[in-house]
Structure 1
Amino acid sequence: MSLIANWSYPTAVRFGAGRISEIAQACAAAGITKPLLVTDKGLADLPITGNALELLTAGGLGRGLFSDVDPNPTEKNVEEGVKAYLEGGHDGVVAFGGGSGLDLGKMIAFMAGQTRPLWDFEDVEDWWTRADADAIAPIVAVPTTAGTGSEVGRASVITNSETHEKKIIFHPKLLPAVVICDPELTVGMPQMITAGTGMDAFAHCLEAYCSPHYHPMSQGIALEGMRLVKDNLVLAYTDGTNLTARAHMMSAAAMGATAFQKGLGAIHALSHPIGAVHHTHHGTTNAVVMQQVLVFNRPRVRKHLARAANYLSISGGFDGFYNFVGELNAQLGIPKNLTELGVKDPDIAALVASALQDPSCGGNPIKMTEKNTTDLLESCFEQPI
């Protein structure tokens, strides 16, 4: 099977090894003549970023770079990025990297032409309509990890540096105009990042599949996305040069972010505040709490996940699926609980309050309350809090 394709769902995707060579053409297709490449500090000096900048330069598009991006990007990063964008006279953004670089790049393109403050566009009701849609700059997205799927998303997650809350900023035009999915860019990922980002993709697919909302297209995408993770994540983890496994994981990441239009749930409702306050890796946090959330949702998802288990060739119905998650975590070296992850002296009440405010909790199969969410969160630690 040839792992080369051109997709226009959910946006124009140039998929395949070596397709970073088309970055200048992708910018031209998006109407960008002077892009600002936005990436994180860790990637800024790596060869893959240097190569992307060389390709842009060779294409006559300049060499603009902004890399002051925190692992959990904040509104301060957005402000500095917008300043660099405006001072450089840029007319579009190349969002390059993992979730942090992609999310911040999208936010810079979004905010560069707005007059209202960032938090006015939080994903609450129809707040996105407050934005001047015509002032949103075009975006080309180039993922270098296989997890978040932000390259095909219409939102960014930004941490409020004052309240330590992760906020979702949504607008339909945050969906990049062109995406380059080149699995060769993921070959250098450390094992820990391969594991954490891969489990993020799995969490997106799992929660979308279990969400009670109606979206049959997302349902099918989520199910096949879980299969791709099941069949390829351990391969990519154990042999980072396996381009077939890397390609399938990159597909699964994009599929997860496409599928979660149907909804997310308690996994993300917990991991967002934990990550914002305790600075844990998002995908790894998702993996750590996943089994406990499965138990929490069992009354509503037991039969549903039994059907998924059949498709995934997992025996034992819901229990088999639950055990599979535990075995997968063990193979990937995922911490067994939040204590082992490094979450010390948590303010349970504050984390629960933030979880219940997170938009993700609205897609959970079982309604999350202060009482049951407290019990759920406490069960994710080595000992009861």
Structure 2
Amino acid sequence: MTLLHWHYPTEILVGEHASSQLPATCQHLSVQQPLFVIDPSLTNTNAIKYILSQYQGAGPTAPVFDSFTGNPTGEQVESGIATFLDGGHDGIVAIGGGSSLDIGKAIALVARQQQSLWQFEDIGDNWTKADTSLIAPIIALPTTAGTGSEVGRASVITDTQHQCKRIIFHPKMLPAQVILDPTLTVDLPAHLTAATGLDALSHNLEAYCSPSYHPMAEAIAIEGMRLIKLYLPIAYTDGTNLQARTQMLIASTMGATAFQKGLGAMHALAHTLGARYNLHHGLLNAVLMPYVLCANRHYLHEKMLRLSHYLELEKEGFDGVLDWVLELRKQLHIPHSLSELGVDNQEQEAIAAQSMQDAAASGNPIHLSQEQYQALFNFALDGKLDL
């Protein structure tokens, strides 16, 4: 039998005001001079000011790096590394959405290494080039419920020179402590609650659909989707509902735990389009979701039957799941087509070629050719489901 190598997450603290445990967590990890990597939209919020004030010795002048965008670039990682080294920091506290967590993890990995960022791209055994003793410890506090980067061993960073996203990987990039505090998510606007929530769904769904054998991940994915079905509409309509916010944080973490089983064409296209158009990753996955499901339809009958029963959908099988996805997108006011996001067909061949080569493509239920990716892209561009 082929040997299988499975990894599961790190220590996770869940609950209202769990972020108040940050000082104790830093002390436990022997982090005395953390660099706070914080989403720039959050830097001046009361929640972040409170977190910084709770860190012993930090006060309002705690060292913060927030010079990055929603799709962090290699240049921004280098800027963060300079800040880390200049300040003599010994750990990273990453607070925010996927961009904050991804860039924080990349800084922690690369700052003290002899190699540059792209030398740790997730190709072959590149990760073995790193001196693990030099990787700074990471504490992750997500403020959105979508990417699940807090339990990931990789970062997605945009290579602006080549207009593509690259996955930077090392097992030790996994945060040593995750703090899931729903009070940090209550101010997330409804449209971002929707986009990030459907990003969490995309992770659970693509992991479930992946043909790789990983029954534990598959079980986590199917329960993650059940939580999203129950709680995303509530979080969207009532952002102050702490139960819904908590369950969505958990579902997001479950999705990123499950997708070690694999992702697929949804993420392959989203990575490509995100790098070229600088669009929100979760929103791209939300738009692409039904089109990719249809492209894989004939290989998903048994899985969709099981999923429809588990989710207690009105209609069983593939059609039931597709109808649920379409209705959920409509309920959350997600655009139906890529063209509504400002995407055009000028680079469709390059987009198809790049998507086919994306690391996520290998987890799709079937291998899609460049021509199939181009057709899939055009269906999503025009808003036409290939039924």
TM-score by length of 1: 0.95
Change (3 A) 1:371 1:344: closer
Q: Is the 8 A contact 1:29 1:178 kept in 2?
A: no
Q: CA deviation at 1:40?
A: 2.0
1:358 corresponds in structure 2 to 358
Deviations along 1:83-137, one digit per CA (max 9) or x if unpaired, are 0111111100001100000000111111111111111111112111111111100
2:311 corresponds in structure 1 to 312
1:369 aligned partner, one-letter code = S
Give ranges in structure 1 of 5+ residues lacking alignment.
Answer: 1-7
Equivalent-residue separation in structure 1 for 2:31 and 2:66 (angstroms) = 19
Aligned ranges for residues 227-242 of structure 1 at < 5 Å?
A: 227-242=226-241
Identity rate, percent:
49
Q: CA deviation at 1:344?
A: 3.1
Equivalent pairs, count: 377
Secondary structure of the structure 2 residue equivalent to 1:94: strand
Equivalent-residue separation in structure 1 for 2:383 and 2:35 (angstroms) = 47
1:122 corresponds in structure 2 to 121
Equivalent-residue separation in structure 1 for 2:284 and 2:63 (angstroms) = 34
2:353 aligned partner, one-letter code = A
Q: CA deviation at 1:234?
A: 0.6
Deviations along 1:196-234, one digit per CA (max 9) or x if unpaired, are 000000000000001001111101100000000011101
TM-score by length of 2: 0.95
Q: CA deviation at 1:345?
A: 4.5
2:164 corresponds in structure 1 to 165
1:333 aligned partner, one-letter code = H
Equivalent-residue separation in structure 2 for 1:75 and 1:161 (angstroms) = 7
RMSD: 1.6
Q: Is the 8 A contact 2:148 2:253 kept in 1?
A: yes
When structure 1 is superposed on structure 2, of 266-275 and 45-54 the one drifting more is 45-54
Secondary structure of the structure 2 residue equivalent to 1:27: helix
Q: CA deviation at 1:58?
A: 5.0
Change (3 A) 1:357 1:36: same
When structure 1 is superposed on structure 2, of 301-310 and 339-348 the one drifting more is 339-348
Q: CA deviation at 1:22?
A: 0.5
1:380 corresponds in structure 2 to 380
Secondary structure of the structure 1 residue equivalent to 2:219: helix
Aligned ranges for residues 195-210 of structure 1 at < 5 Å?
A: 195-210=194-209
Change (3 A) 1:61 1:11: farther
Q: Is the 8 A contact 1:35 1:62 kept in 2?
A: no
1:187 corresponds in structure 2 to 186
Aligned ranges for residues 283-294 of structure 1 at < 5 Å?
A: 283-294=282-293
Deviations along 1:127-179, one digit per CA (max 9) or x if unpaired, are 11111111100000000000000001000000001112011001000000001
Aligned ranges for residues 101-120 of structure 1 at < 5 Å?
A: 101-120=100-119
Q: Is the 8 A contact 2:108 2:135 kept in 1?
A: yes
Change (3 A) 1:303 1:293: same
Give ranges in structure 2 of 5+ residues lacking alignment.
Answer: 1-6
Q: Is the 8 A contact 1:24 1:56 kept in 2?
A: yes
Equivalent-residue separation in structure 1 for 2:298 and 2:14 (angstroms) = 39
1:5 corresponds in structure 2 to none
Aligned ranges for residues 235-384 of structure 1 at < 5 Å?
A: 235-314=234-313, 315-382=315-382
Equivalent-residue separation in structure 2 for 1:346 and 1:71 (angstroms) = 24
Q: Which runs of 4+ in 1 moved over 3 A?
A: 57-62
1:343 aligned partner, one-letter code = V
Equivalent-residue separation in structure 1 for 2:308 and 2:126 (angstroms) = 39
2:281 aligned partner, one-letter code = H
Q: CA deviation at 1:29?
A: 2.0
Equivalent-residue separation in structure 1 for 2:60 and 2:93 (angstroms) = 11
Equivalent-residue separation in structure 1 for 2:269 and 2:187 (angstroms) = 29
Secondary structure of the structure 1 residue equivalent to 2:55: helix
Equivalent-residue separation in structure 1 for 2:43 and 2:60 (angstroms) = 18
Q: Is the 8 A contact 1:155 1:169 kept in 2?
A: yes
1:84 corresponds in structure 2 to 83
Q: CA deviation at 1:57?
A: 3.8
Equivalent-residue separation in structure 2 for 1:52 and 1:22 (angstroms) = 9
2:91 aligned partner, one-letter code = G
2:67 corresponds in structure 1 to 68
2:38 corresponds in structure 1 to 39
Q: CA deviation at 1:62?
A: 7.4
2:214 corresponds in structure 1 to 215
Change (3 A) 1:346 1:15: farther
Q: CA deviation at 1:302?
A: 1.7
Equivalent-residue separation in structure 1 for 2:352 and 2:79 (angstroms) = 31
Secondary structure of the structure 1 residue equivalent to 2:68: coil
Deviations along 1:329-382, one digit per CA (max 9) or x if unpaired, are 000000010011221354101111111111100000010111111111111012
Secondary structure of the structure 1 residue equivalent to 2:296: helix
2:143 corresponds in structure 1 to 144
Equivalent-residue separation in structure 2 for 1:185 and 1:361 (angstroms) = 33
2:375 aligned partner, one-letter code = D
Q: Is the 8 A contact 2:345 2:378 kept in 1?
A: no
Equivalent-residue separation in structure 2 for 1:240 and 1:370 (angstroms) = 41
Equivalent-residue separation in structure 1 for 2:383 and 2:204 (angstroms) = 29
Equivalent-residue separation in structure 2 for 1:258 and 1:382 (angstroms) = 33
Equivalent-residue separation in structure 2 for 1:345 and 1:45 (angstroms) = 39
1:68 aligned partner, one-letter code = S
